[in-house]
Amino acid sequence: MKFVILIHLLNWEHHENEYILEEGISFINPNTHPVGKLYKKICERDNVDEGEPYTFNTGLILYDETGSDHSFLPSSSHYSLSTTFINLLTIIYKGTLGHCRIIMSKDDFKTSHLTYTLYDSLTEFTDELTVYHSKFDRNSIEVLEKVWQNLKSIYTSGVQKSRIDNMLNFFYFSWYTLTLELTGISLSIVLETLFSPHSNSELTHQIACNVSNLMGNEKEEKKELYKYVKKYYSIRSKLVHGEAIKEVELNLIPPFFKFICEVILKIISDDSLIHTFNDNDQRREFIQDKLFE
């Protein structure tokens, strides 16, 4: 069984028409791949997308030649292979990619076995998180390939209850949701997973300090980042405790979402940092060292 995730808001600008990340995982340009013709055919024949094809310029193809492993399907869980890649693309582009269409095939995309939309219902509720005019180019591939190799090394490291895995799950929940309020709460869990101290005293202060030390360079930049994270945590507190939240405060969540993407990408694209943050002892030492730089 093969299936493709056609991505609406990701424009193929790669010099190749197909890029094989590894066996069973590849990205394709639907305009030059049989998937594109098949999609238009099922639109005309079966009135898919009301008979008017969307412009899907990039696709992710996953397959299992044995037909026995269904864990890669988007609907299986947030741990699925397809969800992992959509999650990573969201981090890389610092925004959600709009709705996608799944096409499953048993004959190498000559015909469609099943098709359905994915994430379509989210756009009207969390449109502020959507990123437009994104390019899938050589730079995108290089970053994605580096991150994927780093993640595989984490998955095979034998570390139980992976901190990185937990962080990625809650990041997924931050955009696979119907409200910005839930986005805000999930983003705070991402921060706490990565930057929480090993004690609960002055939790917000220590998280803000740890984030600013990682992301900032000069002293003034670190101070501004510290205040930025502290301000966000005042909003998080209102969300968690059911207090009234102003529209101006709610509007701060989408830019903070982008900032969190930058934080995550800095960690998971670095083959040293990703292992450091995934190991409790190494993470504690790293955070302590940062305090005294």
State the SS3 of the chain: CEEEEEECCEEECCCCCEEEEECCEEEECHHHCHHHHHHHHHHHHHCHHHHCCCCCCEEEEEECCCCCCCCCCCCCCCCCHHHHHHHHHHHHHCCECCCEEEEEECCCCCCCCEEEEECHHHCCCCHHHECCCEEECHHHHHHHHHHHHHHHHHHCCCCCCCHHHHHHHHHHHHHCCCCHHHHHHHHHHHHHHHHCCCCCCCHHHHHHHHHHHHHCCCHHHHHHHHHHHHHHHHHHHHHHHCCCCCHHHHCCHHHHHHHHHHHHHHHHCCCCHHHHHHCHHHHHHHHHHHHCC
What are phi and psi for residue 100, nearest 5 degrees? -125, 160
**pLDDT for residue 155:** 79
**Average pLDDT over the chain, rounded to an integer:** 89
CA 226 to chain centre: 24
Give the pLDDT score at 196. 85
pLDDT computed for residue 189 by the predictor:
94
Indicate the pairing of strand 134-136 with strand 58-63: unpaired
pTM of the model: 0.91
Contact (Cβ atoms closer than 8 angstroms) between residue 278 and residue 162: yes
Q: Which residues, given as ranges, of the chain have pLDDT below 50?
A: 68, 70, 76
**What pLDDT sits at residue 76?**
47
| Those residues with Cβ within 8 angstroms of residue 206's Cβ, 6 or more apart along the chain or in another chain | 195, 196, 197
State the pLDDT at residue 108: 92
10-12 and 114-118 beta bridge pairing? unpaired
What pLDDT does 70 receive?
46
